[in-house]
Amino acid sequence: MTRSEMKCKCCGGNSFVEAMDFINLRPINKKMSYGTERVYTVCMDCGEVVSIKVKNPEMLRK
């Protein structure tokens, strides 16, 4: 899905911003692992989070 095809399921808007938080997501059984940042895609019109991705999914696999 390309960015231009994305549509907010809440308001139908199509302007989005990507935001990150600083709390890493870690594998549940490896609390010492570094983990990976989450990237949120947020609708600029209503604030709906349309997608949450992790930056480095391979970090959860190890």
* Phi, psi (degrees; rounded to nearest 5) at 5: -90, -10
Q: Would you count residue 44 as binding Zn ion (CB under 5 A)?
A: no
Q: Which of 10, 19, 20, 49 binds Zn ion (CB under 5 A)?
A: 10
In order of 36, 41, 42, 51, 53, the CA distances from 6 in angstroms are 24, 10, 11, 10, 15
Determine contact, residues 53/60, Cβ cutoff 8 Å: no
Q: Would you count residue 11 as binding Zn ion (CB under 5 A)?
A: yes
Query: Nearest approach, Cβ of 34 to Zn ion (angstroms)?
Result: 33
Which of residues 8 and 25 has its CB atom nearest to Zn ion in the complex? 8
Query: Nearest approach, Cβ of 29 to Zn ion (angstroms)?
Result: 36
